[in-house]
Amino acid sequence: MIEYFNLNKESKQVEKSEEFSTNCWINVSNPSSEEIDFLVNNFKLGKENIIDGLDIHENPRFEIEDKKTYIYLTAPTNKIKQEYDSSFLIVYSKNFFLTLSKYNLEIFNAVLSDKKNNQIFSKSRNLVKVLYSLSRFFEKSVHKIIKETKENKADLQKLSNKDIEKLINDEDKLTIYISSFGSTINTYKRISRDKSLTFLKKDEEIIEDLIIDLTESLDLCKQTLKSISNMRNYYTTKLSNNLNKSVNILTIFTIFLSIPTLISSIYGMNISLPLQSNSKVVFLLALLVISIWIVMFFILRKIKMI
Q: How far is Cα 58 from Cα 74, in angstroms, rounded to an integer?
A: 8
The C-alpha atoms of residue 214 and residue 210 are separated, in whole angstroms, by 6
Nearest residue to 31 (alpha-carbon basis) of 49, 57, 13 = 49
Same topology between domain 2-239 and domain 243-302: no
Residue 72 confidence (pLDDT): 92
Q: What is the pLDDT of residue 119?
A: 57
Domain 243-302: give its CATH architecture.
Answer: Up-down Bundle (1.20)
Q: For strand 24-29 and strand 13-17, is the pairing parallel, antiparallel, or unpaired? A: unpaired
- The model's pTM is 0.73
Domain boundaries, the chain: 2-239, 243-302
Q: Which CATH superfamily is domain 2-239 in?
A: CorA soluble domain-like (3.30.460.20)
Distance CA 252, CA 250 (A): 6
Residue 152 CA to residue 127 CA, distance in Å, equals 38
Count each helix (H run) and each strand (E run) in the chain, helices first.
7, 7
Residue 272: count other Cβ atoms within 10 Å of its Cβ. 7
Tell the burial category of 177 from Cβ atoms under 10 Å away from its Cβ (0-12, 13-18, 19+). buried
Rounded average pLDDT per 10-residue block, the chain, 306 residues: 81 78 86 89 88 89 87 87 86 88 86 68 84 88 83 67 77 85 88 80 87 89 83 74 80 84 76 69 80 83 72
